[in-house]
Amino acid sequence: MAPRDSEPLRPHRQGFDSTYYINKSNNQSKTIWRGDKAVEKPFDNRLLTEQFTTEAVRFIQSNKNKPFFLYLPFTAPHFPVQSHPDWKGKSAFGGEGIKARIRDYGDVVEELDHRIGDILKSLKTEKLDQNTIVIFTSDNGPQGGQLAQEKPYRGKKWSALEGGTRVPCIIRWPGTIPAGKESNQLIGAIDFLPTLSHACDIDLKAVSNNSPVIDGVNVLDSLIGKAGASHPRKDLLYWHGKTGFHASASAIGNSSSTARVPSSPMTLAPASS
């Protein structure tokens, strides 16, 4: 398997038309890329959230007259947690006398909230806010030893328990998804592709060619609250690690089951109700 930062795996060779990215997490890389060109080295970790937001707004402005897909994976609040100079000390996170690194965490999250607001304002300025689906979610639960809390769930990042895999998910589509609607239905990030494709009248079978099988399901009816709709996602299987503490799998559905994975092949039976 090719290294994750090898040229064939760079985003512009995986279907993205324009890119501005770091090719690893922000604690493992010091270079910002545009395509195959390094445009900043070393980058200032404190400024990444602002820089990614600026690029996102430019992308929206440049593509406002045609359909577009914008994938914006912010690095914040991934460690190292370092406040933007304009946001340092703004959050007062944790109260008086709190350690600087904890205060920085609050500052970083508050800046992230503000920058997402800038993107929503850009959509409104370009008169796109009523016809754009916006999804805000995370890739995993909090890391052990960090400042975020996974409560009331058990487990953290790097585990297959719900504290490591259950994340916030906010979806905005004015006039279609009711504002303030809450759902306890089970969905996964793998469901976004078929769901968004269906919402945009794109037939994945017609454009997939010889692409791998899509594991996600279309959950649009559940999101919009369609009367009588049956939710297609019944369970999810999470698998993490190969050996030791992190080698585990979870099947999450009407009930959950977790298994520690041995070094030899195994089969995980579906969770029973």
CA 61 to chain centre: 23
Q: What is the pLDDT of residue 264?
A: 45
The tens-digit pLDDT sequence of the chain (273 residues) is 455 567 888 999 999 999 999 988 888 889 999 999 999 999 999 999 999 999 999 999 999 999 999 999 999 988 888 999 999 988 877 666 566 667 888 899 999 999 999 999 999 999 999 999 999 999 888 877 666 666 788 777 777 777 888 888 999 999 999 999 888 889 999 999 999 999 999 998 887 677 778 889 999 999 998 888 899 998 887 666 655 445 666 666 655 555 555 444 444 444 444
104 contacts 81 by C-beta, under 8 angstroms = yes
CA 117 to chain centre: 17
- Per-residue tokens: 22: 């770091």
pTM for this one?
0.84
CA distance 164 to 157: 4
Please state whether 15 falls in left (phi above 0), alpha (psi between -120 and 50) or beta: left
CA distance 158 to 247: 9
248 contacts 261 by C-beta, under 8 angstroms = yes
Q: What is the pLDDT of residue 162?
A: 79
Q: What is the pLDDT of residue 265?
A: 46
E-assigned strands of the chain? Answer: 32-34, 37-40, 134-137, 169-172, 236-240, 248-252, 256-260
Q: Which of 273, 256, 260 is nearest to 162 (CA)?
A: 256
Label the pairing between strands 236-240 and 169-172: unpaired
- Per-residue tokens: 45: 């970790």
Q: How many other CB atoms are there within 10 angstroms of residue 64's CB atom?
A: 14
Q: What is the pLDDT of residue 154?
A: 79
Q: Phi first, then psi: give them for residue 88, nearest 5 degrees.
A: -65, 125
Domains of the chain: 1-132 (3.40.720.10)
Please state whether 225 falls in left (phi above 0), alpha (psi between -120 and 50) or beta: left
**Which residues are CB-neighbours of 219 under 8 A, at least 6 positions away?**
185, 187, 191, 195, 231, 232, 233
